[in-house]
């Protein structure tokens, strides 16, 4: 029995000595590779569908999409179509029984292309966004003057209303406009690969082809056009789905090694020159 315990003790001593011969690494590196999803996210603008449901004078549909290029940079686009009938009153000081001075209908399509930059730091596996971006937009459309009345300050012949204009509908086609947009928004994952988004847009009109004798008061994709200003505002609320195409490793940024400046010798250590 004693020999058995002595042999076991010698075996433990040898094992401990062998284990101590290998150095212990106190700074082990994490070798786990973290990969993030890259793909195409496509969806639809919910706000235009809601407005079309509640307003009889409007129909609109917009598709939204983005494609992830890098860790924070996305290629983005919107493609849509709008049709809106607008009446223009003279003002609250003049009572017109028949309603507006004139009504017109604008309809057409538009496309917006640009980039989004994500400023939000996600946890691993997340792809939420708080972003800023820009768009270049182009729209082709037409306008129809549905009805109008002749404005006359002399109300002798028409004391209660203005005289009706021609019943012939005037149509202005082959119109176009282009503008730039500054975009701020967010996208958050509500279910796996399903995202809800919202954005606000400030647009600046670059070009605007106007018909003869009539102004473009509404441009599809741009919204209302006001006199004396090239700025417009817009918004959207989207629901989109991410189609994962591949995964890519998220490599951390490499830190630049700063050169260490050489220390200059002190004056007392310098050799004296005769």
Strands (E), the chain: 35-45, 58-68, 73-88, 102-118, 129-150, 163-164, 170-191, 194-208, 218-219, 223-224, 231-249
Phi, psi (rounded to 5 degrees) for 266: -70, 165
pLDDT of residue 127: 85
Residue 14 or 244, more confident: 244
pLDDT of residue 93: 43
Task: Go through the chain and tell me how many residues it has.
Answer: 274
Span 41-97, pLDDT tens digits = 999 999 999 999 999 899 999 999 999 999 899 999 999 999 998 776 655 444 444
Span 126-162, pLDDT tens digits = 889 999 999 999 999 998 876 555 555 555 555 554 4
Q: Which residues of 30-43 are buried (b: 16+ CB within 10 A; e: fewer)?
A: eeeeeebbbbebbb
Nearest residue to 212 (alpha-carbon basis) of 150, 157, 265, 145: 145
Domain ranges in the chain are 33-249
pLDDT band at 15 (very low <50, low <70, confident <90, very high): low
pLDDT of residue 1: 54
Number of other residues whose CB lies within 10 A of the CB of residue 116: 24
Rounded mean pLDDT of 207-221? 86
pLDDT of residue 204: 96
- Cα(218)–Cα(88) distance, integer angstroms: 12
Q: Does domain 33-249 have CATH number 2.40.160.20?
A: yes
pLDDT of residue 214: 75
185 has pLDDT over 70: yes
- Cα(108)–Cα(225) distance, integer angstroms: 15
Arithmetic mean of pLDDT over the chain: 79
Nearest residue to 57 (alpha-carbon basis) of 105, 115, 127, 114: 105
Residue 118 or 229, more confident: 118
Burial class (CB in 10 A: 0-12, 13-18, 19+), 61: middle
pLDDT of residue 23: 57
- Cα(37)–Cα(40) distance, integer angstroms: 10
Residue 147 or 184, more confident: 184
Alpha-helical segments (H) within 101-254:
none
């Amino acid at each position: 029995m004693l020999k058995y315990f002595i042999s076991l003790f010698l075996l433990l001593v040898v094992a401990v000595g062998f284990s101590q011969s290998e150095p212990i690494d106190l700074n082990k590196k994490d070798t786990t590779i973290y990969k993030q999803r890259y793909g195409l996210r496509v969806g639809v603008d919910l706000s235009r569908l809601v407005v079309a449901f509640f307003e009889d004078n409007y129909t609109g549909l917009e598709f939204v999409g983005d494609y992830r290029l890098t860790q924070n940079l996305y290629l983005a686009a919107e493609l849509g179509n709008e049709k809106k009938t607008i009446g223009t009153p003279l003002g609250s000081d003049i009572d017109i029984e028949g309603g507006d001075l004139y009504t017109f209908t604008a309809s057409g399509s538009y496309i917006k292309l640009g980039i989004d930059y994500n400023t939000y730091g996600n946890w691993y596996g997340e792809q939420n966004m708080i972003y800023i971006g820009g768009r270049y937009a182009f729209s082709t459309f037409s306008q129809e003057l549905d009805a109008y009345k002749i404005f006359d300050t002399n109300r002798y012949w028409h004391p209660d209303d203005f005289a009706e204009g021609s019943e012939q509908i005037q149509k202005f086609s082959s119109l176009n406009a282009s503008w730039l947009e500054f975009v701020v928004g967010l996208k958050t994952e509500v279910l796996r690969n399903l995202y809800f988004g919202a954005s606000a847009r400030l647009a600046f009109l670059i070009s605007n082809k106007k018909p003869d004798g009539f102004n473009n008061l509404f441009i599809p994709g741009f919204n209302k056009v006001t006199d004396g200003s090239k700025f417009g505002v817009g918004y959207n609320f989207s629901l989109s789905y991410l189609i994962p195409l591949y995964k890519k490793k998220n490599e951390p940024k490499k830190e630049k090694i700063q050169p260490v400046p050489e220390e200059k010798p002190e004056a007392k250590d310098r050799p004296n020159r005769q």
